[in-house]
Structure 1
Amino acid sequence: MPIPSAEITLTISRPLGLVAIASGKKHPQAHQALENAGFRRLPNGVFTAPLADSQAARATASALVHHAHEHGATIITSSRPYLGDIGTEIAARLPGTWSAELEIYSHPLWQEDLWPMLWEAGEIYRALEDHRIPFASVLKNGTGTELLLIERPGHRSGYLLGALTDREQEDPHDDPTTPHSIVLPADPGLAAHAVTHTFLPAYHRALHNQDLNNVLRALERIREEHQTLQAIKDSGRYSDGVPLGNSRLISGLERDFADHAWLSYRDVLEHAPILLTRCRPAATPWPEDAAALTRLREALDHSQDAWNEWNDLRHDLYSIPRTLPAHEWSQVRGQLGLAVLPAIETWLADSEAFERQARAAVPGGPAALSAPSPRLLTARPAPLPAPRSAAAHR
């Protein structure tokens, strides 16, 4: 059955009255019908009409039917309450300070803006893939957490909740750290309880594991290049057996290694500090790892000047890529890499202690493990997500 090219979804809101949301490829026609019928458009894109005066409400409804027919728009009456209210009621019951904002994806293509941001491969992923989703509520806590709430397609009640992220991520179908979406009941109180006690703990574990994988993946890249460099220095030959001509070539290889190592070590500097704050060696079977974690924290402290310098320079370096020669770009990274080389070597030496302690420190997990859990690393490189557009204001 074809989707109407212009559609008006009607629902009820306690504070707003009658709420109308326009969608479809020809959604401007639905907008015009609503305006002609006397509906008022709010900043988030929904249209409202008061219900306090029953006679006036009947007149507005009659006018809407007339103008919708005139503009070729189909009217759908929803049995669910306004999703904007549901999102706000759930947000008010979550721990901490949360807000909820309704986003409208009037054109069918606009819901595709969610794909790069959706950290999910379960039911909410399939819902966006197989169904028209003209609106959603985005819940935010002000510290970077964003959750997507939609009406559950194919069901008369209930909702789906999944995580949004602006991080680099693996294909959610293949990444074992992906947090799974959850089905929420229609009651906002029960829904908030499920989010608080089921979804958010799983979400925080997923963030922890993703941070850990980013650090371990970075260290593996550095270790491989470091071992290659060391083998060349020890043998006096390149990996293909060709002898090194002179000692200056060694210096060049070391600069190249420092350049590449810095690119990976940035992930350690970005993600490792929060992981280290959660580690409690005394609560694990390996309390002797405390010394290694102290060395790792000191290595991060010693890298702070280089990290600050990189962050100060990064904006300029990215904003003028055409005017900055490639060799100068490499030279900057190489200098930073050489400055933190002792810290990098400390991380390589103590990476096993870090990994088992960070795995034992996963939020909501057991404080003590008999052995480290299997690695969650995947071989697939992380694609860069496309920027998310402000679909709610289109």
Structure 2
Amino acid sequence: MPTPSPSARITLSTSRTLGLVAIASGQEYHKAAHALHEAGFSRLPNGAFVAPLADAHAARATASALVHHAHEHSAAITTSSRPHLGDVGTEIATRLPGTWSAELQIYSHPLWQEDLWPMLWEAGAMRQAVEDHRVPFASVLKNGSGTELLLIERPDHHDGYLLGALTDREQEDAHDDPTAPGSIVLPADPGLAARAVTDTFLPAYHRALHHQDLNNVLTALERIREEHRALQAIKDSGRYSDGVPLGDYRLIAGMERDFADHAWLSFRDVLEHAPVLLARCRPTATPWPQDAAALTRLREALANSQDAWNQWNNLSNELYSLPQALPAHAWSQIRGQLGMAVRPAIETWLADSEPFERQARAAVPGGPAALAAPSPRQLTTRPTPTPGDAAPRR
């Protein structure tokens, strides 16, 4: 749990553009906010309070008033030795490759800090810092293409920062995810910090995304293959898995529909994550140039599944906006229809999964050195929840 702190705290730092910046935090952060308001601070839309420093006499009067009102409201005052984190985040963002922005986020109440947990994609120093310390504010760096990074002041140190990855993907416990990128300690100098992010963190982050996408696809194919084999064994033997005769071969049609339903649940991961992996594959640059034909078949299979994928996404978006969800049996019927529609594509992906896997492993961002480096394998995955989803049969 985070280290206990006063129920009302005011943290002060300086900004070249904003002047004196104050952040109210604690279980009774509203007391600190009242003190700041009464001392003449102005509140920004993001929740920070500011007071100008251009006029030295006015700044001293504001500081004196703050001490007085903070005492009245039992709010502790802490003066940071670091520059305003909002400025630091912006200075780092402007030095990163591409177009980045930085947004200061404030977690005044300790419970708000817990909102970071499902978004943190790492199990190292950043997660430990959020678990053991109060983090009343952070800077979130975004590049507009889905990459979001969390920047916080390094706890128990007078300078330096921690940077970690955020994700909007549904995930299991990060401790059980071998693909999660580790956080990185950044120096106080924004230029050096940006260089560390560019040269060290972002390459590791992109490799982690590649590994996670690959694991999602491979695990989905494993689930489909298991059920496909079970269905095929029943069809070949005319018996259930426990050896009992089918009795009526018309039951096979129902089993085919059930397989299509469950297969669609898993094949969605292939449709979502495989295209970017295939786009990176360069068979002629690997020891297996003959895999090019298999990759062509896989791309065609994805293209032939696009209508079903669009139909599913459009239907899901429409029904999420309705007050009542579609009944579970109706969702099952829809999934079964889509699964039957993409059945040839599923068969292709099961048949050519081996060349896909070795080519995707060879295509991990990082260059030819990655050819011999195995990708971490995630043992379990959880499909993105959708109305009416059911757990796949095993």
**TM bucket normalised to smaller:** over 0.9
Aligned residue number for residue 234 of structure 1: 236
2:182 counterpart SS class: coil
Aligned residue number for residue 388 of structure 2: none
Report the AA paired with residue 295 of structure 1: R
The more displaced of 207-216 and 302-311 is: 302-311
Whether 1:110 aligns to 2:112 is yes
Contact 2:363 2:371 in 1 (8 A): no
Shift of 1:316: 3.4
Structure-to-structure mapping, 1:261-300, within 5 angstroms: 261-300=263-302
Distance 2:370 2:96 in 1: 29
Distance change (3 Å), C-alpha of 1:242 and 1:317: farther
Aligned residue number for residue 98 of structure 2: 96
Aligned residue number for residue 377 of structure 1: 377
Cα shift readout 1:296-344 (whole Å, capped 9, x = no counterpart): 0011111111111111211234455956333222111111111111110
Distance 2:326 2:5 in 1: 51
Shift of 1:178: 0.4
Contact 2:361 2:374 in 1 (8 A): no
Contact 1:148 1:164 in 2 (8 A): yes
Distance 1:384 1:219 in 2: 16
Aligned residue number for residue 219 of structure 1: 221
Shift of 1:114: 0.1
Whether 1:358 aligns to 2:349 is no
Distance 1:375 1:45 in 2: 42
Contact 1:84 1:101 in 2 (8 A): yes
Q: Indicate which of 248, 267, 278 corresponds to 1:246.
A: 248
Distance 2:110 2:201 in 1: 28
Distance 2:218 2:54 in 1: 60
Whether 1:11 aligns to 2:13 is yes
Distance 2:55 2:236 in 1: 88
1:129 counterpart SS class: helix
Question: Which has the higher relative contact order, 1 or 2, with Cα contacts under 8 A spaced 6 or more apart?
Answer: 1
1:230 counterpart SS class: helix
Shift of 1:10: 0.8
Q: Indicate which of 328, 331, 348 corresponds to 2:330.
A: 328
Distance change (3 Å), C-alpha of 1:375 and 1:233: farther
2:165 counterpart SS class: strand
Distance 1:141 1:31 in 2: 32
Aligned residue number for residue 137 of structure 2: 135
* Gap regions ≥5 residues in structure 1: 386-394
Contact 1:104 1:136 in 2 (8 A): yes
Distance 1:39 1:187 in 2: 29
Cα shift readout 1:227-254 (whole Å, capped 9, x = no counterpart): 0000000000000001112221011111
Cα shift readout 1:131-171 (whole Å, capped 9, x = no counterpart): 11110000001111110000000000000000000102232
Contact 1:33 1:71 in 2 (8 A): yes
Aligned residue number for residue 66 of structure 1: 68
Shift of 1:175: 1.1
Contact 1:278 1:358 in 2 (8 A): yes
Distance 1:368 1:9 in 2: 46
Aligned residue number for residue 347 of structure 1: 349
Distance 1:159 1:10 in 2: 17
Cα shift readout 1:11-68 (whole Å, capped 9, x = no counterpart): 1111111111111111111111111111111111111111111111111111111111
Shift of 1:369: 2.5
2:163 counterpart SS class: strand
Contact 2:219 2:381 in 1 (8 A): no
Distance 1:257 1:383 in 2: 16
Contact 2:281 2:362 in 1 (8 A): yes
Shift of 1:200: 0.5
Report the AA paired with residue 378 of structure 2: T
Contact 2:219 2:380 in 1 (8 A): no
Contact 1:102 1:138 in 2 (8 A): yes
Distance 1:348 1:138 in 2: 40
* Gap regions ≥5 residues in structure 2: 386-394
